[in-house]
């Protein structure tokens, strides 16, 4: 009877498929079954709206991450832009390689080299100056392979999932290894996620007066590395509640999925598996970026749903922007 | 015409005074004028709801803070509760003084001694164990002078202000020097502010498996001191947007007020001045807690409104709980 009433009252809402880019395979069923369960008042699995926290990794989960993290393109573009103020970079690796356009050599130093370049390009300026630099870049820079804006390489099925969860009273958060201030300027426009719901890696911040004007300077220390064990810590620091649903794609998300799904009551853990070499990229156990190995091994025993982009998604990128 | 329509549609909302515990003096007028200005679509001062961020100090701004910060009572009670596991505390200051009930000696070491006691009592356990300890304490411990629960010593006018701002599309945050995990377990129930909108001082966190169960341990480092220059930093870290309204009561809130009110567009900065020795406590320039000196001096030139609790507030504590 209650269902009938609801159907009469909100026919358009119930009639439309909230996840049209998802095939009717197991992952879509797992999502809708979970959401119906936790939102049904009176059910033993009901979760009050305030506790409906869902966390999403960003790179490889909400947007692509190949051939390298998109933030790395930003770092390289910033190195080029800042080079006139840093004549010493012409002789200094990995900056010299970036300036020569030799990205392979620039990245040869692995994560440590990348963090060094990040510090050099993401600090020594105010948060407002940095926000402007990100905004300018994100609205103009193009992906070298697809020629799209990076924000056009977000996953349409995940946009639908974010909207579906929010329509069901969830609060959606990003919990990413990417820089918190690199994401915040555009996540609201692109994902509907406001800055205060973005958790990420962060550098030092210092409040000071510059010529009498208050500013917050970005300083070159890595204050929080929001990856692996750092993700549950970032969640606790920023949200202060354990999520009931978590979405990732790499072993960097393992602890976030573990922390989320080992809580009491209904939980949803989901891994986006990059299986679509034609429409996106195919990689997992051996990848230098977004490595997914332990997660694939342990997903079945832990009750985590693995989403095959090739088999479970009708579309990858937003139709209105792509193709 | 639009106003008339609104009046017809929502007569009860418009008729009721949203701030009944505020006298019709300057501060109340400053608040309502500000809210009307930023919410009026089409006005040059209109602020989109997403940017309506308001931040509140907690101690001395949302609840009392005399004769000492309420969290200090919690620390002392935890020292007493944990004493059997720490026989060495009988000989070790400031713990020995706490155990003898000599709080004056215990506090003689100032903030440094307090932080030492905080570390000893707020770390070495999981976030969930700590949350339970806070919840148990906050629902039972009584203030030594008033005999009330500490959560009954919240300010009725500020509860009305929080609700009024939220009804007008604001997102309300706590930005306090108090411990973030000391506040989160009860701010939603008491203030309507969920854990993810609480910013405070914080200790280290470490994710680990304990007997196979994932936990987040609290570790004894002060990771963020959310006071003075630390407040704009905490705001940037957690919210990622500059507030348009900020409420404080001591010089520890000075930089938060400065950061907020020096932004572009309409801004509201407000200082709660403890002037009511009869109904609450009277203190300012010379107080060892909640010292307000520079703020009083500079408020007029900076356009900050000073609220006299004695003159501007009809009630201090909630009526249904107090008196």
Digit-coded pLDDT (tens) for B262-289: 999 999 999 999 999 999 999 999 999 9
DSSP E strands in chain B: the ranges are 53-56, 171-179, 198-210, 213-224, 245-248, 268-273, 305-308
Quick one: which of A137, A139, A136, A119 has its CA closest to A179? A119
Q: Determine the average pLDDT of the residues in A20-33.
A: 98
pLDDT at position B12 over 80 = no
- Tell me the three state secondary structure of residue A281: coil
- pLDDT at position A1: 39
Tens-place pLDDT, residues B216-236:
999 999 999 999 999 999 999
Q: Six-digit token pair at B286?
A: 């010379």
- pLDDT at position A14: 52
Cβ <8 Å between B241 and A195? yes
Cβ <8 Å between A50 and B194? yes
Residues in contact with B59: Cβ distance below 8 Å, sequence separation at least 6, in sequence order = B65, B69, B70, B71, B176, B177, B178, B289, B290
The structure tokens 């905080």 sit at: B118
The torsion angles phi and psi of B51, rounded to 5 degrees, stand at: -100, 5
Quick one: which of A227, A228, A192, A231 has its CA closest to A62? A192
The sheet that has B171-179: what strands, in order across it?
B213-224, B198-210, B171-179, B53-56, B245-248, B268-273, B305-308
Among chain A residues, CA nearest to B195: A240
pLDDT at position B31 over 70 = yes
pLDDT at position A6 over 60 = no
Among chain B residues, CA nearest to A219: B233
Q: Six-digit token pair at B107?
A: 């506090």
Cβ <8 Å between A255 and B196? no
Cβ <8 Å between B171 and A196? yes
pLDDT at position A45 over 60 = yes
Tens-place pLDDT, residues A210-245:
999 999 999 999 999 999 999 999 999 999 999 999
Contact A317, A155 (CB under 8 A): yes
B122 in contact with A at a CB cutoff of 8 Å?
no
- pLDDT at position A319: 81
Q: Residues of A with CB below 8 A from B180's CB?
A: 237, 240
Quick one: which of B130, B16, B113 has its CA closest to A236? B130
For chain A, which residues make up each domain, given as ranges?
Answer: 18-68+147-312, 70-138
Q: Could you tell me the pLDDT band of residue B320, with boundaries at 50, 70 and 90? A: low
Cβ <8 Å between B229 and A207? yes
For A18-68+147-312, CATH gives 3.40.50.1000
| A213-224 vs A53-56, strand pairing mode | unpaired
Cβ <8 Å between B216 and A195? no
What is the rounded distance in angstroms from the CA atom of residue A153 to the CA atom of residue A143? 9
- pLDDT at position B110: 84
State the sign of the Cα–Cα–Cα–Cα dihedral A26, A30, A32, A36: positive
Cβ <8 Å between A229 and B208? yes
Q: Six-digit token pair at B15?
A: 């008729």
**Backbone Cα Rg of chain A:** 21
pLDDT at position A191 over 70 = yes
Percent of chain A residues past pLDDT 90, beyond the cut: 89
DSSP B23-79: -SSHHHHHHHHHHHHHHSTTSTT---GGG-EEEE--BTTTB---SS-HHHHHHHHHH
- pLDDT at position B15: 57
| A198-210 vs A213-224, strand pairing mode | antiparallel
- pLDDT at position A323: 43
Cβ count near A238 (within 10 Å) = 25
Tens-place pLDDT, residues A144-160:
999 999 999 999 999 99
pLDDT at position A83 over 80 = yes
A273 in contact with B at a CB cutoff of 8 Å?
no
Three-point CA angle B296, B298, B300, nearest 5°: 90
The structure tokens 């309420």 sit at: B70
- The pTM for the full model equals 0.94
- Chosen from B127, B128, B197, B205 to mutate, greatest number of chain A CBs within 10 A: B205
Structurally, at CATH architecture level, domain B17-66+146-312 sits in 3-Layer(aba) Sandwich (3.40)
Percent of chain B residues past pLDDT 70, beyond the cut: 94
What is the rounded distance in angstroms from the CA atom of residue B119 to the CA atom of residue B102? 20
- Tell me the three state secondary structure of residue A57: coil
| Range with lowest mean pLDDT among A313-322, B75-84, B201-210 | A313-322
Quick one: which of B253, B261, B264 has its CA closest to B295? B253
Q: Residues of A with CB below 8 A from B239's CB?
A: 195-196
Cβ <8 Å between A214 and B232? yes
Q: Six-digit token pair at B183?
A: 């506040």
Q: Six-digit token pair at B273?
A: 């001045």
- pLDDT at position B14: 52
Distances (CA, A) of A27 to A143, A247, B93: 29, 12, 59
Cβ <8 Å between B196 and A233? no
pLDDT at position A37 over 60 = yes
Q: Residues of B with CB below 8 A from A255's CB?
A: 207, 214
Buried b (16+ CB within 10 A) or exposed e, B214-248: bbbbbeeeeebbbbbbbbbbbbbbbbbbbbbbbbb
Which stretches within A139-211 are classed as H helix? 156-167, 180-191
- pLDDT at position A114: 87
Mean pLDDT estimate for chain B = 94
Cβ <8 Å between A233 and B216? yes
- pLDDT at position A111: 81
DSSP B211-231: TTEEEEEEEEEEEE--STTHH
Q: Six-digit token pair at A308?
A: 């095959």
Q: Could you tell me the pLDDT band of residue B311, with boundaries at 50, 70 and 90? A: very high
Mean pLDDT estimate for chain A = 94
- pLDDT at position A322: 42
Contact B93, B79 (CB under 8 A): no
Q: Residues of A with CB below 8 A from B171's CB?
A: 196
Which residues share a beta bridge with B206?
B217
Tens-place pLDDT, residues B163-214:
999 999 999 999 999 999 999 999 999 999 999 999 999 999 999 999 999 9
Contact A176, A256 (CB under 8 A): no
ipTM over 0.90: yes
Find residues 46-75 of chain B whose CB sits inside 8 Å of chain A.
50, 53
A232 in contact with B at a CB cutoff of 8 Å?
yes
Distances (CA, A) of A46 to A36, A40, B35, B231, B244: 9, 6, 36, 37, 36
Percent of chain B residues past pLDDT 90, beyond the cut: 89
Burial of A133 (0-12, 13-18, 19+ CB in 10 A): buried
Three-point CA angle A296, A302, A307, nearest 5°: 45
Q: Residues of B with CB below 8 A from A53's CB?
A: 196
Contact A74, A141 (CB under 8 A): yes
Contact B142, B148 (CB under 8 A): yes
B202 in contact with A at a CB cutoff of 8 Å?
yes
Cβ <8 Å between A127 and B214? no
- Chosen from A122, A175, A229, A240 to mutate, greatest number of chain B CBs within 10 A: A240
pLDDT at position A320 over 80 = no
Distances (CA, A) of A244 to A26, B216, B290: 19, 16, 39
Q: Determine the average pLDDT of the residues in A193-221.
A: 97
Q: Determine the average pLDDT of the residues in A55-83.
A: 97
B225 in contact with A at a CB cutoff of 8 Å?
no
pLDDT, greater one: A9 or B199:
B199
Quick one: which of B226, B218, B171 has its CA closest to B200? B226
B196 in contact with A at a CB cutoff of 8 Å?
yes
């Amino acid at each position: 009877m209650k269902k009938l009433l609801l159907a009469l009252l909100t026919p358009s809402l119930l009639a439309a498929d909230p996840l049209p880019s998802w095939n009717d395979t197991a992952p879509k069923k797992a999502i809708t079954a979970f959401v119906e369960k936790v939102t049904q008042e009176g059910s033993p699995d009901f979760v009050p709206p305030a506790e409906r926290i869902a966390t999403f990794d960003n790179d490889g989960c909400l947007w692509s991450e190949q051939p390298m993290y998109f933030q790395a393109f930003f770092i390289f573009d910033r190195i080029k832009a800042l080079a006139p103020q840093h004549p010493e970079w012409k002789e200094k690796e990995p900056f010299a390689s970036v300036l020569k356009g030799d990205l392979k050599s620039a990245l040869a130093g692995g994560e440590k080299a990348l963090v060094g370049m990040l510090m050099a390009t993401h600090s020594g300026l105010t948060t407002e100056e940095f926000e402007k630099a990100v905004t300018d870049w994100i609205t103009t820079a193009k992906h070298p392979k697809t020629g799209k804006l990076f924000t056009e390489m977000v996953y349409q099925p995940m946009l639908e999932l974010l909207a579906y969860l929010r329509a069901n009273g969830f609060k959606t958060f990003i919990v990413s290894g990417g820089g918190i201030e690199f994401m915040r300027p555009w996540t609201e426009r692109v994902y509907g996620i406001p800055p205060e719901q973005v958790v990420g890696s962060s550098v030092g911040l210092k409040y000071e007066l510059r010529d009498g004007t208050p500013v917050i300077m970005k300083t070159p220390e890595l204050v929080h590395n929001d990856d692996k064990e750092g993700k549950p810590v970032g969640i606790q620091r920023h949200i202060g509640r354990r999520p009931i649903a978590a979405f990732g794609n790499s072993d960097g998300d393992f602890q976030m999925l573990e922390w989320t799904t080992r809580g009491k009551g209904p939980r949803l853990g989901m891994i986006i598996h990059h299986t679509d070499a034609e429409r996106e990229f195919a990689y997992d156990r051996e990848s230098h970026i977004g490595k997914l190995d332990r997660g694939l091994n342990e997903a079945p025993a832990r009750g985590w749903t693995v989403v095959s982009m090739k088999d479970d998604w009708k579309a990858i990128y937003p139709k209105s922007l792509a193709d």
